[in-house]
Amino acid sequence: MDHSYFFELFLGGMTRGSIYALIALGYTMVYGIIKLINFAHGEIYMIGAFTALIVSSVLGFTGMNPILILAIASVLAIFFSSAYGTTMEKIAYKPLREAPRLSALISAIGMSMFLQNYVLLAQTPDFLPFPDMIPDFKFLQPINKILNSTQFVILVTTAIVMILLTILIKFTKIGKAMRATSQDAKMAQLLGININKVITVTFIIGSATAAIGGVLISSHTGQLNYYIGFIAGIKAFVAAVLGGIGSIPGAVLGSFVLGWTESFGTGYISSDYEDVFAFIFLIIILIFRPSGILGRKQNDKV
Amino acid sequence: MLRIENIKTFYGNIQALQDVSIEVKKGEIITLIGANGAGKSTTLMSISGIEPPRSGKIFFEDQDITGMDPDKIVSLGIVQVPEGRRIFPFLTVRENLDMGAFLRTDKEEIKKDIEYVYSLFPLLAERKNQPGGTLSGGEQQMLAISRALMAKPKLLLLDEPSLGLAPIIVQQIMDIIKKVNTENKTTIFLVEQNANLALKIADRGYVMETGRITMKDTAKALQQNEEVKKAYLGI
């Protein structure tokens, strides 16, 4: 058994898992609050990546420091993705809040197709190169083979995002209001919580983390097109369901489990079946734990 | 303080309230009694803005609050403890109380008020770090009332606080309601199926049948009323 190969796959899986986690958070938080699978969430991630590409292409001409460009591009990506996310909620989901959940779901699928085609027409159907703005860290050189700089940045950024989000959800007023709303929205209203604000904040946070994921993965793969949101979105959705949709720790855990499954599956079995492993694993988990790894059993109110 | 004028509230096409008019004066305890499904909870939900009436008006301290958003209504000082308590099951007792104080920003006063509700219900202090869902029915009712008190209500709406609780707990809760009314000068609007209990602590009462107010009088007079006795007091 080759240890360095194992670690390479392990860290590779963790990197994948980090990206899935950044996207899966949006699925699980939105589901927790308005019980909607936001199928257009992958597109928000794609729009974040595109925003970063456009910004970095423009700023690239100024000869600015690449790290600074990446930072500015990320901030703008977060801003644009959040704007798209909240606008989408206002247009496509808010009018359907009292409607059956199936109607909102179809609205979400429509939104997803709309945004894909919007970017297709506004940009190009071809793959575009994404500039590599992450420098090579000297201290990573000894282990360059199993962990490169981009992966390192992905892992560290994800860890920071997770810690900040945990603090926000656990300790701040708006975080508590979000949890309260997800547990009983009507009661939250009866205590003076404006659930429209809570929903908007939820979409902002979900879109922002997705945008970060979009910028990071594009830096990693070095290319993007209008369709990247679809597969990444589906995978992140699988991760969220795997972990127990509605649960934030569940989404993170599900993402890492999925990342490792794919990484070890392709590394030790066959890379031809890369996308199959995710779904096989999902089916197995759901047979034994229908509400996901950390999912709560739905208690029906009497 | 609160004036409800001829409200009609609908669920879809089904009319739940028909020309309901109720007046609540500052500092009193009024009760709305009636059978299951008479429209008592709907009345409270209309006041809180969750089920706004299709016609008619609701005034609070001479301000028209008909159709106002629920959070605005809470900010004016009307807070409801709904039927079934609706504790946030995965928030701790303390966090549930924090949610009651959601609209307040006076941190020092909030701390004092938390101590105050702990003094009303010492059990809650013992369980402050426990998830709300793990409390017993009686404890949850105590928490629900405490949570509402954290909002510093001028008018407290209570929906069936006695439902499903052991008699000894019910008595304790009724005593606290009375205490909150006399000590904090909080006006109380109490909805109850248990008319006996409600008329004992209330100043005035309204009787509701299938979405209409059929009687109103002082609590004493209603206790003596033959029809009320027969229909609601089981005498």
Provide the CATH number for the domain around residue B81. Answer: 3.40.50.300
Is the separation of the CB atoms in B93 and B133 below 8 Å?
Answer: no
Is the separation of the CB atoms in A262 and A16 below 8 Å?
Answer: yes
Q: Between the CA of residue B50 and those of A88, A174, B94, what are the distances in Å? A: 25, 21, 26
Write down the pLDDT at residue B80: 96
Identify the band that residue A147 occupies on the pLDDT scale cut at 50, 70 and 90.
Answer: confident
Is the separation of the CB atoms in A268 and A178 below 8 Å?
Answer: no
Answer whether B86 touches A (CB < 8 Å). yes
- Of A62-66, A103-107, B69-73, B101-105, minimum mean pLDDT range: A62-66
Size of interface A-B (CB pairs under 8 A): 65
CB < 8 Å to A97, chain B: none
Mutation choice for A interface testing from B78, B88, B92, B152 by most A CBs within 10 A: B88
pLDDT, mean over chain A: 91
| Tokens matching residue B13 | 């096409």
Answer whether B76 touches A (CB < 8 Å). no
Sheet with B55-60, edge to edge strand ranges: B14-24, B2-11, B55-60, B63-64
Q: Do B99 and A190 touch (CB under 8 A)?
A: no
Mutation choice for B interface testing from A171, A173, A190, A194 by most B CBs within 10 A: A190
Write down the pLDDT at residue A297: 63
Q: Do B90 and A190 touch (CB under 8 A)?
A: no
Residue A213 CA to residue A119 CA, distance in Å, equals: 18
pLDDT for B36 beyond 90 = no
Residue B37 CA to residue A126 CA, distance in Å, equals: 62
B10 conformational bin, left if phi > 0, alpha if psi -120 to 50, beta if neither: beta
Give A289 to chain B, closest Cα distance, Å.
20
| Tokens matching residue A8 | 């390479």
Task: Measure CB to CB from residue A189 to each of B71, B91, B98 and give the nearest one.
Answer: B71
Per cent of chain A over pLDDT 70 is 98
Question: Residue B30 — φ and ψ, nearest 5°?
Answer: -115, 155
Identify the band that residue B227 occupies on the pLDDT scale cut at 50, 70 and 90.
Answer: confident
Give A175 to chain B, closest Cα distance, Å.
11
* Burial zone of A140 (CB within 10 Å; 0-12 exposed, 13-18 middle, 19+ buried): middle
**Residue-number span of the structural domain to which B190 is assigned:** 2-86+152-233
Q: Between the CA of residue A27 and those of A222, A240, A245, B91, B136, what are the distances in Å? A: 25, 7, 8, 22, 33
Q: What is the 3-state secondary structure (H, E, C) of B138-150?
A: HHHHHHHHHHHHC
CB < 8 Å to A187, chain B: 82, 86, 88
Please indicate, yes or no, if residue B23 is contained in any of the structural domains.
Answer: yes
Per-residue pLDDT of B163-189, as tens digits, reads: 989 999 999 999 999 999 999 899 999
Q: Is the ipTM of this complex over 0.95?
A: no
Q: In whole angstroms, what separates CA A246 from the centre of its chain?
A: 14
Residue A179, SS3 per DSSP? helix
Residue A97, SS3 per DSSP? coil
The closest alpha carbon to B181, from B42, B31, B11, B52, belongs to B31
pLDDT for B233 beyond 80 = no
Is the separation of the CB atoms in A228 and A119 below 8 Å?
Answer: no
Residue A52 CA to residue A79 CA, distance in Å, equals: 11
Answer whether B70 touches A (CB < 8 Å). yes
Q: What is the largest CA-CA distance in chain B?
A: 51
- Angle of the A228-243 helix axis to the A274-288 helix axis, nearest 10: 30
At A85, the amino acid letter reads G
pLDDT for A129 beyond 70 = yes
Please indicate, yes or no, if residue B227 is contained in any of the structural domains.
Answer: yes
Sheet with B155-159, edge to edge strand ranges: B78-81, B155-159, B187-192, B29-34, B204-209, B212-218
| Tokens matching residue A176 | 């508590």
Write down the pLDDT at residue A42: 95
Chain B stretch 152-181, residues whose beta carbon is closer than 8 A to a beta carbon of chain A: none
Q: Do B91 and A194 touch (CB under 8 A)?
A: no
Task: Measure CB to CB from residue B99 to each of A191, A194, A296 and give the nearest one.
Answer: A191
Residue B143 CA to residue B151 CA, distance in Å, equals: 13
Is the separation of the CB atoms in B230 and B35 below 8 Å?
Answer: no
| Tokens matching residue A290 | 């229908």
At A297, the amino acid letter reads K
Please indicate, yes or no, if residue B211 is contained in any of the structural domains.
Answer: yes
Is the separation of the CB atoms in A44 and A237 below 8 Å?
Answer: no
Q: Which residue has the tokens 């940009």?
A: A123
Give B216 to chain A, closest Cα distance, Å.
27
Residue B134, SS3 per DSSP? helix
pLDDT for A300 beyond 50 = no
Residues 6+ away with beta carbon under 8 Å from A268: A9
Per-residue pLDDT of A249-280, as tens digits, reads: 999 999 999 999 999 999 999 888 888 888 88
Please indicate, yes or no, if residue B133 is contained in any of the structural domains.
Answer: no
Residues B42-68, mean pLDDT to the nearest whole number: 94
Write down the pLDDT at residue B216: 92
Q: How many domains does chain B have?
A: 1
The closest alpha carbon to B161, from B124, B192, B196, belongs to B192
The closest alpha carbon to B29, from B234, B168, B167, B206, belongs to B206
Write down the pLDDT at residue A301: 41
Please indicate, yes or no, if residue B114 is contained in any of the structural domains.
Answer: no
Residue B96 CA to residue B121 CA, distance in Å, equals: 14
Q: Do A192 and B151 touch (CB under 8 A)?
A: yes
Residue A171 CA to residue A291 CA, distance in Å, equals: 26
Kind plus residue range of the DSSP H or E element containing B33: strand B29-34
CB < 8 Å to B46, chain A: none
Q: Do A193 and B84 touch (CB under 8 A)?
A: no
Kind plus residue range of the DSSP H or E element containing B7: strand B2-11
**Rg for chain B, CA atoms, rounded:** 17
